[in-house]
């Protein structure tokens, strides 16, 4: 297999890290190839961020029509759901974006290669050996070619993790990707894992009338969120009929022609319940996409399967792995598994390859959003984490918590459940955490990300005039409450 082509950079994976990094590298004058074994856009575009948000928005519209339309003066005597239309719309959207990325690659002079990649050789570029890295590409028809590169950027991402000894079958035991393709509207569904993905799908399926049981092994849903956020979401889920089983573990699974039966163990010793449903959706986390990625002699350092780079050890990381000439960004290098982080890492990585000075990624200022109903958005530390560190109020920190219950915009639009909670250092007033739950909070968290990035104080936020009437005003009110709580 002779080397056919040589590139300054070969990117493996065309998700939010890969395609963004490839395009930026090309802008900086590098010759770039991007290898993708599936569809351009990766998980986020094809079976994650974009299609799920399309589905969830549809669920919001359905909930409004069923529960609130009459209050607004709209009367819908016979509301029906076309499940095929509901689930096919996101696929049409992803196809549009697939074509858009292909167009960007073409105009940006990035060579797009369809196939699976294996790194055969690596090394640092030199005058005598300008293309030391070798990557084998196995095309869908199983033909193989080898391309050369000065550097290789791994951006292969992650995929859903199954329950131990219970593989996904795509029909009865499904992951989040497969949940987008359920051909018939389910009557009953069990969701194992109550993190962001689990609660989003719980919201979606419940809105379309399914009986939903949410099983979580920890003592509350959304265990990574501030406990006040978890509490109010649990209350709302219970109100709309989602059954929540926390501190429960899954046991034996039986699959039948009509659905699944799974045993769940409660915190009470010896107490087990058999749950029955059309589908079991497993949302317990992700695992790295690294199968067949490394040839003989290519051994990067790993941490629980995730590729280690220098991004945790230096303030200005290059994202190089332990293998010279091989870099990695995005989900494949571990948490936080967020598309916007992946893209930011890719840009920082290739800009530093090109010798550019770049501010890089501020990992302390990463916002995260969950699109269940009510929506969730957060940044920085939680109050639970502060307490675990032995910090107490008001000596170390203050809290400003403002409810949407009587907030003008929230009441006007009929969505006044939730709050904005800001955490600030007592001594300086600097914002150290923000936790929002309620209407469209995913659209306003950017203000607080900027505040964190610029080391702004709650005094800065409170002295900024916010437009009225908007959801953003709730941030202003929470900042004022922080000041009244005793910021020195």
What Cα–Cα distance (Å) separates residue 42 from each residue in 38, 200, 283, 346?
Answer: 8, 20, 18, 14
Q: Is the dihedral of CA 318, 324, 329, 331 positive or negative?
A: negative
Backbone angles phi, psi at 31, to 5 degrees: -85, 130
Distinct helix (H) and strand (E) counts, the chain = 13, 24
Residue among 311, 435, 468, 476 flagged as catalytic: 468
∠ CA 270-275-276 to the nearest 5 degrees?
Answer: 155
314: helix, coil or strand?
coil
Distance CA 392, CA 270 (A): 39
Distance CA 304, CA 308 (A): 10
With a CB cutoff of 8 Å and minimum separation 6, the contacts of 314 are none
Among the listed residues 390, 374, 166, 394, the one whose alpha carbon sits nearest the alpha carbon of residue 282? 166
Which uninterrupted H or E stretch holds 177? helix 176-179
**How buried is residue 74: exposed, middle or buried, by Cβ count under 10 Å (0-12/13-18/19+)?**
exposed
With a CB cutoff of 8 Å and minimum separation 6, the contacts of 388 are none
Helix/strand/coil percentages in the chain, nearest 5: 35, 30, 40
Distance CA 17, CA 174 (A): 26
Residue 448 pairs with which residues in a beta bridge? Answer: none
Distance CA 7, CA 290 (A): 22
- Buried-exposed string 387-409: b where 16+ CB fall within 10 A, e elsewhere: eeeebeeeeebbbbbbbbeebeb
195 cis-preceded (ω within 30 degrees of 0): no
Neighbours of 83 (CB within 10 A): 13
To the query of whether residue 248 is one of the catalytic residues in this protein, the response is: no
What Cα–Cα distance (Å) separates residue 256 from each residue in 64, 278, 280, 438?
Answer: 36, 9, 12, 39
Residues noted as catalytic:
468
């Amino acid at each position: 297999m002779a080397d056919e082509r040589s590139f300054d950079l070969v990117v493996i994976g065309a998700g939010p890290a890969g395609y963004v990094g490839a395009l930026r590298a090309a802008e900086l004058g590098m010759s770039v190839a991007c290898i993708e074994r599936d569809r351009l856009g990766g998980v986020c575009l094809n079976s994650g961020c974009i299609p799920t948000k399309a589905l969830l928005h549809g669920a919001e519209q359905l909930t409004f029509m069923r529960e609130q339309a009459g209050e607004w003066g709209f009367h819908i005597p016979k509301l029906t759901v076309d499940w095929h239309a509901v689930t096919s719309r996101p696929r049409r959207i992803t196809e549009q974006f697939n074509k858009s990325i292909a167009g960007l690659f073409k105009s940006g002079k990035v060579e797009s290669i369809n196939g699976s990649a294996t790194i055969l050789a690596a090394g640092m570029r030199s005058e005598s050996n300008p293309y030391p890295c070798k990557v084998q590409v196995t095309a869908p028809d199983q033909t193989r070619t080898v391309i050369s590169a000065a550097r290789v950027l791994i951006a292969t991402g992650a995929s859903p993790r199954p329950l131990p000894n219970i593989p996904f079958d795509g029909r009865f035991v499904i992951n989040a990707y497969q949940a987008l393709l359920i051909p018939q509207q389910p009557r009953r569904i069990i969701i194992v894992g109550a993190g962001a993905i689990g609660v989003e799908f719980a919201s979606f399926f419940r809105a379309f009338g399914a009986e939903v049981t949410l099983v979580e092994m920890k003592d509350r849903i959304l265990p990574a969120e501030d406990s006040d956020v978890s509490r109010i979401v649990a209350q709302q889920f219970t109100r709309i009929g989602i059954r929540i089983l926390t501190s429960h573990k899954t046991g034996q699974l039986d699959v039948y022609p009509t659905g699944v039966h799974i045993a769940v163990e409660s915190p009470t010793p010896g107490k087990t319940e058999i749950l029955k449903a059309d589908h079991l959706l497993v949302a317990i986390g992700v695992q790295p996409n690294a199968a067949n990625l490394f040839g003989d002699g290519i051994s990067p350092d790993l941490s629980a399967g995730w590729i280690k780079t220098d991004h945790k050890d230096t303030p200005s990381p290059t994202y190089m792995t332990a293998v010279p000439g091989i870099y990695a960004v995005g989900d494949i290098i571990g948490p936080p598994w967020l598309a916007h982080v992946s893209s930011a890492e890719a840009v920082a990585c290739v800009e530093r390859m090109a010798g550019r000075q770049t501010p890089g990624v501020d990992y302390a200022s990463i916002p995260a959003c969950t699109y269940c109903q009510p929506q969730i958005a957060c940044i920085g530390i939680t109050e639970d984490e502060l307490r675990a560190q032995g910090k107490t109020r008001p000596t170390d920190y203050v809290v400003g918590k403002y409810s949407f219950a009587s907030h003008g915009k929230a009441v006007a639009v009929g969505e006044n459940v939730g709050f904005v909670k800001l955490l600030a250092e007592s001594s300086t007033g600097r914002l150290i955490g923000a936790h929002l739950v309620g209407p469209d909070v995913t659209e306003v968290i950017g203000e607080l990300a900027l505040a964190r990035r610029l080391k702004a104080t709650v005094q800065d936020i409170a002295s900024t005039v916010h437009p009225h009437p908007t959801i953003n005003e709730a941030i202003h009110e929470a900042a004022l409450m922080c000041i009244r709580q005793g910021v020195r």
